[in-house]
Amino acid sequence: MDIATRVYNHKWKIDPIVRSLIDTDFYKLLMCQSVFRNKPDTQVTFSLINRSTQIPLADLIDEGELREQLDHIRSLSLSRGESTWLRGNTFYGKRQMFRPDFMEWFEALRLPPYHLERRGDQYELTFEGSWPEVMLWEIPALAVLMELRGRAVLNRMGRFELQVLYARAMTRVWEKIERLRALETLSIADFGTRRRHSFLWQDWCVQAMREGLGDSFTGTSNCLIAMRREVEAIGTNAHELPMVYAALAKSDAELARAPYDVLSDWHDEHEGNLHIILPDTYGSKGFLENAPDWLASWTGIRIDSGDPARGAAIAIDWWRARGEDPTRKRVIFSDGLDVDKIIELHRQFDGRVNVSFGWGTLLTNDFRSLVPDDALAPFSLVCKAVSANGRPTVKLSDNPEKAMGPPDEIERYKRVFGVGQQQRQPVVV
């Protein structure tokens, strides 16, 4: 695929940004099945949050074009081939990962309506409905907004300018891959769907990683690319689960138990390499200190906010205190990674734990400094669950810059979970 020529020849009315309901992250489908089984009637609202307020999305993206893309997503349903892949493929060594009742529901699904309104130079985009349905809007909605913002810049460029742009971007990715080859025990996957430059670009990055890194490249979080390129689909769970479970709690005692209730339900659903703890929703240190003993036997931990080295050290100490061997555990780093940080963390923790990396935006959307005014630089855009059954959700994180929720509820959660002074860190992407 000549991506530059494809971009230059973009003449038709709608070139679909999202091509399939499985053009999404694998963990979304795993979580969706768990929600479908355990809390199918919970009413949840998701909302777009642009952390990079200096990026005026409503000035850059035409509302009509945005609606066209969102309406197209609502027309999508699983193809026969996609359904067969989900029903019959082996994921993490397990056949029939997705149960027949879930698959029957998913095969009949069309995504529910959305609400879009312009607010100054930003868009208010929300999705309301039953949790299993609306949660599947998150990834495609983010992908659409990121790519439309990119198209707004690319539309001003000529044919040869586009060819040079993509040649430089490809060279940058390949140079990163060449540096990573030096890490003999590297284990790395693509986690870049939600804030990618485009589907075609993510697909190219996956192919480059596969060729350049061989077995060190373990797969992609994107289900459609995993299916088409015959690589592993990678993912476990995300902050969304404890955020909604916590919002449903009716007392402080229930609130304190909510993050562990999530993993108890997950334990009943999955096993083995899917037993990965994401501890930072309400502070990693307190989560681990109060965790039930059975969690120590799980496979590993994903570090997604705060100082990653400190987070890994806390996990190692916790495993040792619980009588577990850290060298048999996996630590997955996934927050704002680029090559320098990957190399640093690998050298620091290789041999102490099984180190893995989920490489996101700075793999699939690193066009920094390649156009004037840095107009293609990635930015921090998220789509989060903001309420459940009418109650607000809260996220504290290990980095208070990523915290969200009403101020009074944030203070309550800090009290319940014993979160003290936190160190602020810039949110890159």
Give 128-149 pLDDT, tens digit per residue.
999 999 999 999 999 999 999 9
pLDDT in tens, 340-377: 999 999 999 999 999 999 999 999 999 999 999 999 99
**Which residue reads 């120590």 in tokens?**
296
Q: With 90 as the cut, is the pLDDT of residue 417 above it? A: yes
Rounded-to-integer distance, Cα 275 and Cα 352, Å: 19
Smallest CA-to-CA distance from 258 within 279, 276, 242 is with 242
What type of residue sits at position 397? S
pLDDT in tens, 226-252: 999 999 999 989 999 999 999 999 999
Rounded-to-integer distance, Cα 137 and Cα 122, Å: 19
Q: For residue 95, what pLDDT is reported?
A: 87
Q: With 70 as the cut, is the pLDDT of residue 11 above it? A: no
183-205: average pLDDT = 97
pLDDT in tens, 13-52: 678 999 999 999 999 999 999 999 999 999 999 999 998 9
Q: Report residue 429 CA to chain centroid gap.
A: 11
Q: For residue 428, what pLDDT is reported?
A: 66
Rounded-to-integer distance, Cα 244 and Cα 401, Å: 20
Rounded-to-integer distance, Cα 333 and Cα 313, Å: 12
Contacts of 340 (CB under 8 A, 6+ apart): none
Q: With 70 as the cut, is the pLDDT of residue 12 above it? A: no
183-195: average pLDDT = 97
49-63: average pLDDT = 94
Q: With 80 as the cut, is the pLDDT of residue 426 above it? A: no
Q: Which of 39-48, 60-69, 270-279, 322-331 is predicted least confidently?
A: 270-279
Q: In angstroms, what CA-CA distances link 308 with 166, 255, 398?
A: 32, 26, 10
pLDDT bucket at 273, cuts 50 / 70 / 90: confident
CA-based radius of gyration for the chain: 21
Q: What share of the chain in percent tops pLDDT 90?
A: 90
281-291: average pLDDT = 95
Q: For residue 357, what pLDDT is reported?
A: 98
pLDDT in tens, 326-348: 999 999 999 999 999 999 999 99
Rounded-to-integer distance, Cα 276 and Cα 188, Å: 16
181-207: average pLDDT = 97
Q: For residue 268, what pLDDT is reported?
A: 85
Smallest CA-to-CA distance from 121 within 71, 52, 194, 47 is with 52
Beta bridge partners of 110: none
Q: For residue 377, what pLDDT is reported?
A: 94
